[in-house]
């Protein structure tokens, strides 16, 4: 049995094409059924996210299945094949296994080490289970991909170090305060960046959130989300000393926090540290405030520098992650090969023995003068001949299950001797 992956991603297709081939959640069950109904497809999973659309399948006829999957994606989305095909990647066997292991481990993501893709693949798998489009092989394959991803995240630093501006701010705050528990953050501005950063801070222990905004209603709304307190924009300077962490993003033409504002606040705090994060362009906080004792000011360039440095640290872990994946590919490929090899050996022996027994019966019926001793000798001779003829193909099959070409030998033996397809076990989707 062969595993295949056909799809496209942010690396091979622009967003306009990715939008056209996206599968809609409301109709994903029908799409899975249509894919599963393709003549050569035994099991099917569809992964559809903003950055990738992939069809994962297993089949006994890999090349035919690959062609069917390409045409299925084009026909299903009514896209001319010649327009779609240049954007597609197609993997079989070990290459398909490697691809999904790398994707699940976030080595193929737009942001190296991001955790979202693993959750998206798990969701796609659960949907396929729900619609009964997976069986023994893809069940085992996907669970193996999940365990590989977990091993990569546990044994490497691929997911360490913040690689978003908002989370880099949290990482820096931790270095300044050690522990963010019971710290207070003041948001100056109620936009998306402030909200995202505030969420990261709250998830990491910050317990008090103050929000100010030129439009007070927006400050009230965002404060309510974090069970915090809104502050009128005209008077927020008077509350500045309450904040351990200040995050500002207003879009103002000139600084909303001057050196004098911050000097007054740090004095009221008796010079307890203040961490100021200015993610606005133009800047919201006067840069000379960084000269004050106890004040740690970072602007968006500083944070992006941290992100760039952290990405380099993540990239150093890629080699370790790839080594883990290669090791796991071998283990899974051996299991997949053995799944076919053992029943193939059994079927081959049964076919040979069927022919041996048939011919033996014919011969013995015309040799009625032979006694039991002679008859047993003839039987033993035919059995020995069969075993000798089977020895080499069985030896090759057993060795092949530990190599990359195991499926090729299995398919060749089954074609040459017209053996039935192996039973891969009961469906395990329930």
Q: What CATH number is attached to the domain comprising 172? A: 3.40.50.720
Question: Average pLDDT in the 122-131 region?
Answer: 96
- The answer as to whether 319 is a domain residue is no
- The answer as to whether 278 is a domain residue is yes
* Residues 232 and 277 both lie in one domain: yes
Question: Average pLDDT in the 75-97 region?
Answer: 96
Residue 358 has pLDDT above 50, yes or no: yes
pLDDT at 400: 65
- The answer as to whether 424 is a domain residue is no
- The answer as to whether 138 is a domain residue is yes
Q: How far is CA 22 from CA 16, 77, 314, in A?
A: 10, 8, 30
* Residues 31 and 81 both lie in one domain: yes
What tens digit of pLDDT does each residue of 146-187 get?
999 999 999 998 877 656 777 788 888 888 998 899 899 999
* Residues 148 and 13 both lie in one domain: yes
* Residues 150 and 51 both lie in one domain: yes
Active-site pick, 14, 25, 30, 50: 50
Q: What CATH number is attached to the domain comprising 146? A: 3.30.460.30
- The answer as to whether 287 is a domain residue is yes
Q: What is the total count of domains within the chain?
A: 3
Question: Average pLDDT in the 342-350 region?
Answer: 82
pTM for the model:
0.64
Residue 7 has pLDDT above 90, yes or no: yes
Task: Retrieve residue 331's tokens.
Answer: 């283990």
CB 409 within 8 A of CB 393: no
Rounded (10°) angle between helices 372-400 and 318-365: 160
Model confidence at 273, in pLDDT bands (50, 70, 90)?
A: very high
Rg of the chain (C-alpha set): 32
Enumerate residues 6+ apart whose C-beta is below 8 A from 235: none
- Cα separation, 7 vs 5, in Å, equals 7
What tens digit of pLDDT does each residue of 199-235 get?
888 888 898 999 999 999 999 999 999 999 999 999 9
pLDDT at 333: 84
pLDDT at 399: 73
- The answer as to whether 237 is a domain residue is yes
Q: Is 58 a catalytic residue?
A: no
- The answer as to whether 318 is a domain residue is no
Range with the lowest mean pLDDT among 27-36, 249-258, 301-310, 397-406?
A: 397-406
Containing structural domain, residue 394? 336-416
* Residues 169 and 131 both lie in one domain: no
* Residues 110 and 208 both lie in one domain: no
Distinct helix (H) and strand (E) counts, the chain = 15, 10
Domain-terminating residue out of 114, 142, 158: 158
Domain-terminating residue out of 114, 133, 158: 158
Domain-terminating residue out of 272, 297, 312: 312
* Residues 116 and 246 both lie in one domain: no
């Amino acid at each position: 049995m062969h595993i295949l992956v056909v799809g496209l991603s942010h690396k091979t297709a622009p967003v306009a094409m990715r939008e056209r081939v996206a599968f809609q959640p409301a109709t994903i069950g029908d799409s899975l059924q249509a894919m599963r109904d393709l003549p050569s497809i035994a099991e099917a999973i569809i992964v559809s996210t903003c950055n990738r659309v992939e069809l994962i399948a297993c089949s006994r006829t890999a090349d035919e299945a690959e062609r069917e999957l390409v045409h299925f994606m084009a026909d299903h989305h009514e896209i001319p094949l010649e327009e779609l095909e240049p954007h597609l990647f197609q993997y079989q066997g070990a290459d398909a296994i490697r691809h999904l292991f790398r994707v699940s481990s976030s080595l193929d993501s737009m942001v190296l080490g991001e955790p979202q893709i693993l959750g998206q693949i798990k969701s796609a798998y659960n949907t396929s289970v729900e619609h009964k489009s997976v069986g023994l092989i893809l069940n085992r394959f996907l669970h193996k991909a999940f365990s590989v991803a977990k091993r990569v995240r546990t044994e490497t630093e691929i997911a360490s170090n913040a690689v978003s501006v908002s989370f880099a701010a949290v990482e820096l705050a931790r270095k300044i305060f050690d522990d963010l528990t019971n710290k207070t953050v003041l948001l100056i501005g109620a936009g998306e960046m402030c909200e995202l950063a505030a969420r990261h801070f709250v998830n990491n222990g910050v317990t008090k959130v103050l929000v100010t905004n030129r439009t007070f209603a927006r400050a009230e709304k965002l404060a309510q989300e974090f069970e915090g307190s809104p502050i009128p924009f005209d008077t927020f300077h008077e509350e500045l000393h309450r904040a351990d962490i200040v995050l500002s993003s207003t879009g103002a033409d000139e600084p909303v926090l001057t050196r004098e504002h911050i000097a007054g606040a740090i004095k009221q705090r008796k010079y307890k540290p203040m961490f100021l994060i200015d993610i606005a362009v133009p800047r919201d906080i006067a840069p000379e405030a960084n000269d004050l004792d106890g004040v740690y000011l970072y602007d968006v360039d500083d944070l992006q520098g941290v992100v760039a440095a952290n990405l380099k640290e993540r990239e150093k872990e890629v080699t370790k992650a790839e080594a883990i994946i290669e090791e796991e590919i071998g283990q899974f490929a051996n299991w997949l090969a053995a799944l076919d090899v053992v029943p193939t050996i059994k079927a081959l022996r049964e076919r040979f023995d069927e022919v041996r027994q048939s011919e033996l019966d014919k011969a013995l019926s015309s040799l009625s003068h032979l006694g039991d001793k002679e008859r047993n000798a003839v039987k033993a001779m035919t059995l020995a001949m069969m075993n000798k003829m089977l020895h080499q193909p069985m030896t090759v099959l057993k060795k092949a299950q530990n190599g990359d070409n195991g499926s090729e030998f299995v398919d060749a033996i089954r074609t040459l001797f017209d053996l039935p397809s192996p039973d891969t076990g009961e469906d395990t989707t329930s």
